[in-house]
Structure 1
Amino acid sequence: MELNDPTASALYEAVVRSGGDLVVGLDFDGTLAPIVEDPTQAHVHPDVPDLLVALADRVRGVAVVTGRPVRQALALGDLDQVGTRIAERHRSFIVLGQYGNERWTAVDRRVVSPRPPAGLAGFLREVPSLVRRADAADAYVEPKGLAVALHTRRLPDPVGSFARLLPLVADAATRHGLAVEPGRLVVEVRAPGMHKGLAVSRLAEEWSAKGFLFAGDDLGDVEAFTELRAMRDDGIATMAVCSHGGDGPEELEEIADHVVDGPEGVVDFLKGLVADLGPQAG
């Protein structure tokens, strides 16, 4: 696959050379699935299931690392069936949900999850007041078990509503000892201490990665991209791919090694990667 930028091209070639020692990590929303007004309808691109199987055949392991609960990602991406197909090939596939707090593997096929964070129940009791104060009473509130997300995409003034809501949510989350994760017209509140950078680091160690490629689209992926830079300094071939869907954060693009056009661009990029990796591993 030809990349226009010489630096990105060199990084890509190094990742391809890592081949059977390569780990591929992928965000879900905005990367494998389009951003939609109703997050319960964010189904993956139709080519994703077969593509994940093809990738798993050629690399050390494939992981979906998402802010969603694992069970949502499994359902919306048909990832349970993907896992079955990958396990039958004796290859490795993991889904990490809620930024790495939840874990599901194609072998164990059960969700391992901690208890909800202290303070979340108290924060949830404040949510109706917060959205009213922000003049965003119709914001979509999405409980996630270990977290809660507040979406303004459906509102008449989604950007203005988000701008008003974010500082109020951040203040309340701090009082309850919780972390705040702003995204594309969504703000998520969850337990501190876990993020995608830590999830990427643990996957690299677990799978003894000599190469790591990660694709993401939002602020929650910044830590993952940053971790890839640190891994590169330690001699691991890495590449950060930004899925740009039109309203993604500039911060992520600035630290990305390569930018593609939304989930369609991610799929095309991964198809090229599969082709360049060559025949499946034995």
Structure 2
Amino acid sequence: MGSHHADELPTPTTRAGRDGLSALLARPGKAVVALDFDGTLAPIVPDPDQARAHPDAVPALAALAPHVAAVAVITGRPAGVAVRHGGFAGVPGLEHLVVLGHYGAERWDAATGEISAPPPHPGVAAVRAELPGVLDSVGAWQGTWIEEKGRAVAVHTRRAADPQGAFEALRAPLTALAGRHGLVVEPGRLVLELRPPGTDKGVALTEYLRGVGAEGVLYAGDDLGDIPAFAAVEKLRSDGVPGLLVCSGSAEVTELTDRADLVVDGPEGVVRLLAALAAQLGSARSA
């Protein structure tokens, strides 16, 4: 191989990271490569609508994807936007790619090209059924109204005789009702919204890895929103699932840099790492 130096895999600086990389190389078919989009696969630009994946990102992912259990892009953006900005649709080799959008509330599968959203949290229906009785028991039924939000339900006190008094009277009982069904109360202006606890990249990553039965993971990110995913990988490692944490770029989020096993030079470095992994797994398979 003439360009052997270009395919050199960097060595993680931590013991856990070296173990994570070794596990990925030893059992790639059981490993998931998960990546943030903005700042990790796509360079950060002043206008987020202009963000596009690094030109070498899709070729590197397409070379790597056939060797691993799956490649997942986890982003706060809507799944469809990340697919468009990434250029992920209809790429040979990327049939195993999934995009988890809205922090995991949406999922796009390359195999079908379809976006799916999970059914609403079962606690929402349970709370909806019990709400009238709770409002009744508090004596705050007069003038309150219930707003259906599909994935959440809200109680407004604006029309009550004493809006602020009704709001204060309902806060504790609604918090207790939400808690019994795994929901949280988000207070607003004379409104109490009962909704599932916030999804984040850690929850999305953990659920996805569990769903595919992954025995190893590489996660790459660059920003504060990626800290829950880093924490999820650290938790998996403490449970015996090897993982490698990669930070894209070293300047801005020191908390991420400090927890990473490997710091690379932005999306350019991420893409080089993916290409090197693909090359190593490809030569191992053909050996």
* TM-score, normalised with respect to structure 1: 0.68
- The answer to whether the Cα contact below 8 Å between 2:18 and 2:244 also exists between their aligned partners in 1 is no
- The answer to whether the Cα contact below 8 Å between 2:69 and 2:214 also exists between their aligned partners in 1 is yes
Q: 1:196 to 1:4 in 2, by over 3 A?
A: closer
**What code does the residue aligned with 1:198 have?**
V
Q: 1:50 to 1:116 in 2, by over 3 A?
A: farther
User: Secondary structure of the equivalent of 1:79?
Assistant: coil
**Does 2:20 align with 1:11?**
yes
Q: 1:2 to 1:33 in 2, by over 3 A?
A: closer
**Does 2:90 align with 1:99?**
no
1:1-282 → structure 2 map (5 Å cutoff) = 1-3=9-11, 5=13, 7=15, 8-82=17-91, 85-87=93-95, 92-113=96-117, 192-244=197-249, 246-247=251-252, 249-279=253-283
Instruction: State which drifts further: 2-11 or 71-80.
Output: 2-11
**What code does the residue aligned with 1:28 have?**
F
- The answer to whether the Cα contact below 8 Å between 1:94 and 1:104 also exists between their aligned partners in 2 is yes
**What code does the residue aligned with 1:39 have?**
P
Cα RMSD, aligned residues only: 2.9
Q: 1:3 to 1:80 in 2, by over 3 A?
A: same
User: Secondary structure of the equivalent of 2:267?
Assistant: helix
Q: 1:103 to 1:6 in 2, by over 3 A?
A: closer
User: Secondary structure of the equivalent of 1:67?
Assistant: coil
Identity score, percent: 42
User: Secondary structure of the equivalent of 2:198?
Assistant: coil
How many angstroms does 1:193 deviate by?
A: 2.6
Q: 1:40 to 1:277 in 2, by over 3 A?
A: same
Distance in 2 separating the partners of 1:218 and 1:117: 27
Distance in 2 separating the partners of 1:62 and 1:281: 19
Distance in 2 separating the partners of 1:60 and 1:239: 15
Q: Which has the larger radius of gyration?
A: 2
How many angstroms does 1:2 deviate by?
A: 3.7
In the alignment, what sits opposite 2:122?
none
- The answer to whether the Cα contact below 8 Å between 2:31 and 2:217 also exists between their aligned partners in 1 is yes
Unaligned runs of 5+ in 1: 123-169, 180-190
Distance in 2 separating the partners of 1:176 and 1:109: 37
User: Secondary structure of the equivalent of 1:81?
Assistant: coil
How many angstroms does 1:5 deviate by?
A: 2.6
How many angstroms does 1:9 deviate by?
A: 3.3
- The answer to whether the Cα contact below 8 Å between 1:33 and 1:43 also exists between their aligned partners in 2 is yes
How many angstroms does 1:232 deviate by?
A: 1.2
Distance in 1 separating the partners of 2:102 and 2:73: 11
How many angstroms does 1:274 deviate by?
A: 1.3
How many angstroms does 1:22 deviate by?
A: 0.8
Aligned length: 216
Distance in 2 separating the partners of 1:64 and 1:178: 29
How many angstroms does 1:79 deviate by?
A: 1.0
Distance in 1 separating the partners of 2:12 and 2:250: 20
Q: 1:2 to 1:73 in 2, by over 3 A?
A: closer
Unaligned runs of 5+ in 2: 1-8, 119-148, 157-185
